[in-house]
């Protein structure tokens, strides 16, 4: 799902750069779409759908052909006794025709209040001039990071790019936190990004480098990078509002944010690297999340690297 988010973000940005329209379709009838593409839905399955084409100024009208619900709601009992946990989860969160038509009002997700004292972020000037297409083609993953600092303006540009307009409107609840190790003009610690105000809010102060390395399976990159971006999902709230399928969308959205961090780093001459392996409980405890209501979903490092 996270890989789908990274790929989809490239599609979305390249489409906009080409002057075309784009929409991400998060709800679709899984079995029907898998059958159309001749995949079995177990070994291989559709994870995301992106529609692109000439944009229209006309307001579209949508007609619900038939209501859909998650398969776990439509089929009583256990759906699948064998197979991996991800396979069982994917099966349970497929959308199938609803037995009874239901109308569900879904309120928009609202950003949580700041968790500490806030300060405004500066603007990067001049802005990077690299095109979207060039940046996507040249984007790379750093093999290692040099323990050197980045400018606060560079961090601000990465944050602004990372949590720009979501592929899904509205966003269903991925917030961006960062463990700042070496950023000029701010002290090391954990920060919450406030995109509407372009503020950082300090959550806890202190050097997190060694603890991040331990939580990330002793990978030195987690402490040598200037910043570790943490995509934090509001899992319980998203589930209550949108159902269990929302976990798919949280992961895809986290992947999209990670891809934008990669592209921001590339445009500024820096580097980024995803860390897919970390001890979930250790990382959540270190950063003050309970792992149930809120949890780290994805981790992208940023700094000077090769």
Distance CA 132, CA 17 (A): 7
Please indicate, yes or no, if residue 288 is contained in any of the structural domains: yes
Please indicate, yes or no, if residue 219 is contained in any of the structural domains: yes
pLDDT of residue 293: 92
* Segment 32-44, tens digit of pLDDT: 999 999 999 989 9
Which neighbouring-strand residues pair with 21? Answer: 53
pLDDT of residue 169: 56
Please indicate, yes or no, if residue 217 is contained in any of the structural domains: yes
Which neighbouring-strand residues pair with 179? Answer: 190, 228
Residue 15 has pLDDT above 70, yes or no: yes
Residue 103 has pLDDT above 90, yes or no: no
pTM of the model: 0.89
- Greater confidence (111 vs 175) lies with 175
* Segment 177-187, tens digit of pLDDT: 999 999 999 99
Distance CA 214, CA 225 (A): 14
User: What average pLDDT does this structure show over 83-100?
Assistant: 86
Q: Which two tokens stand for residue 256?
A: 């999209």
User: What average pLDDT does this structure show over 254-271?
Assistant: 96
Please indicate, yes or no, if residue 25 is contained in any of the structural domains: no
Distance CA 278, CA 284 (A): 10
User: What average pLDDT does this structure show over 120-146?
Assistant: 94
Strands (E), 54-156: 68-70, 95-97, 118-120
**What's the distance, CA 12 to chain centroid?**
14
The CATH number given to whatever domain includes residue 158 is: 3.40.109.10
Distance CA 174, CA 232 (A): 5
pLDDT of residue 82: 67
Count other C-beta atoms under 10 Å from residue 190's C-beta. 22
State the residue range of the domain holding 211.
118-303
- Greater confidence (50 vs 58) lies with 50
Which neighbouring-strand residues pair with 23? Answer: 51
Please indicate, yes or no, if residue 298 is contained in any of the structural domains: yes
Please indicate, yes or no, if residue 243 is contained in any of the structural domains: yes
* Segment 191-215, tens digit of pLDDT: 999 998 999 999 999 999 999 999 9
Residue 127 has pLDDT above 70, yes or no: yes
Distance CA 141, CA 134 (A): 16
Residue 100 has pLDDT above 70, yes or no: no
**How many H helices and E strands in the chain?**
11, 11
Please indicate, yes or no, if residue 153 is contained in any of the structural domains: yes
Residue 109 has pLDDT above 60, yes or no: no
* Segment 148-176, tens digit of pLDDT: 999 999 999 999 999 876 655 556 689 99
Please indicate, yes or no, if residue 83 is contained in any of the structural domains: no
Could you give the 3-state DSSP secondary structure of residue 120?
strand
Query: What DSSP designation does 245 have?
Result: T
Cis amide linkage into residue 137, ω under 30° from 0: no
Could you give the 3-state DSSP secondary structure of residue 135?
helix
Q: How many domains is the chain built from?
A: 1
Q: At what angle do helices 152-162 and 246-267 cross, to 10 degrees?
A: 140
């Amino acid at each position: 799902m996270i890989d789908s988010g990274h790929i989809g973000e490239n599609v979305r940005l390249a489409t906009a750069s080409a002057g075309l329209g784009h929409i991400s379709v998060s709800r679709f009838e899984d079995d029907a779409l898998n059958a159309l593409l001749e995949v079995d839905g177990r070994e291989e399955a559709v994870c995301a759908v992106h529609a692109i084409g000439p944009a229209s100024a006309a307001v579209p009208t949508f007609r619900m052909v038939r209501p859909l619900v998650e398969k776990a709601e439509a089929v009583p009992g256990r759906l699948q006794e064998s197979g991996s946990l991800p396979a069982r989860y994917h099966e349970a969160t497929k959308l199938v025709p609803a037995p009874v038509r239901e109308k569900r009002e879904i309120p928009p997700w609202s950003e949580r209040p700041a968790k500490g004292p806030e300060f405004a972020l500066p603007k990067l000037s001049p802005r990077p001039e690299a095109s979207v297409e060039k940046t996507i083609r040249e984007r790379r993953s750093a093999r290692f990071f040099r323990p050197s600092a980045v400018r606060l303006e560079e961090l601000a540009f990465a944050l602004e790019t990372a949590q720009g307009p979501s592929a899904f409107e509205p966003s269903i609840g991925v917030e961006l936190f960062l463990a700042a190790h070496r950023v000029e003009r701010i002290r090391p610690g954990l920060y919450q990004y406030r995109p509407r105000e372009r503020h950082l809010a300090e959550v806890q102060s202190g050097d997190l480098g060694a603890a991040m390395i331990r939580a990330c399976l002793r990978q030195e990159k987690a402490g040598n990078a200037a910043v570790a971006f943490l995509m934090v999902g509001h899992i319980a709230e998203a589930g209550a509002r949108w159902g269990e399928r929302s976990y798919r969308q949280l992961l895809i959205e986290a992947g999209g944010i990670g891809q934008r961090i990669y592209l921001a780093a590339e445009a500024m001459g820096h580097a980024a690297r995803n860390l897919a392996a970390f001890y979930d409980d250790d990382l959540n405890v270190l950063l003050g999340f309970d792992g149930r209501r809120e949890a780290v979903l994805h981790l992208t490092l940023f700094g000077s690297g090769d």
